[in-house]
Structure 1
């Protein structure tokens, strides 16, 4: 029997298969290397991004703390400003009372006596006595002529009083009066 050698024909086909499998393995290895390199590169970028994100969060937290401290300082500053304004208003009121008393002392006619002065805000009430109704009218005119320092000047009550004291100690107090008025705020000089 004569034999046919099929091995010679198989060898070239086996070599082609072998080359195909080697090329396939090399392609898979190269693809795997590329995938591993890309995953390593992406992991490195993700790590850098995470570090940057952590840094930004830390800075954001620090800035939030600074902003809260700034708001707290602003609130304290506003409270101090309100206290300063309140103290200035109190000082102004204190100065107004002094100016009111000084102006009343300048305008007070002789022989007119004040028994009480009640001030409520910008209005005040004068109670006093004078030897005659003419002296009370002089006081009203003096208050009206005070260069606009006093406003709404009204004689509320005038009555004759009985003089119970001897004439030598307190002469002529025969007319009691009640005057209401307001005073204007004068800017500090």
Structure 2
């Protein structure tokens, strides 16, 4: 859900960059029209569902309805009952182009081989990191049901970043993070930093 809110915010901010973001501004379409025009812009995404969803939500807020009004999270709704219903809103067309945007679809055998090694943690550097952080990976796996891999750890770290971005309080974190004692990490802050460091290659 937080990712969708970010996509909505991105669309709103892009509209501000190309013009105003409210219907009462004289400069709304200063650089780009309020409504989508094929001669002004083209949009591309990979076939991955979450990528399409992100683009769709971003465009929904970039080309917001005439009576646009955003709520606390930036999700638009129609401001008055006399406005057309949401069902009348036409989605912005886009093109799926996996060879351009999905690395696994390039057709290059070498890229596929390297990608497979990375996803399965077979690169020497990855194997060294897995050995070093085995306790952290096992703790994550035991409490989430995810595989104890670096790929899953990166996904978990991304969630921690989003929780921090949304200003979650300490009590909002899972109990196993709040009270875990593993591998020398005796405080919640240390444990969270350790998982985030796996993702961003900081020293732990």
TM-score bucket of the superposed structures, by smaller chain: under 0.3
Q: Calculate the TM-score normalised by the size of structure 2.
A: 0.22
Please tell me whether Structure 1 or Structure 2 has the larger radius of gyration of its CA atoms. 1
Q: Calculate the TM-score normalised by the size of structure 1.
A: 0.23
Which of the two has greater helix per residue? 1
Q: Point out which structure has higher relative CO (alpha carbons under 8 A, 6+ apart).
A: 1
Which of the two has greater strand per residue? 1
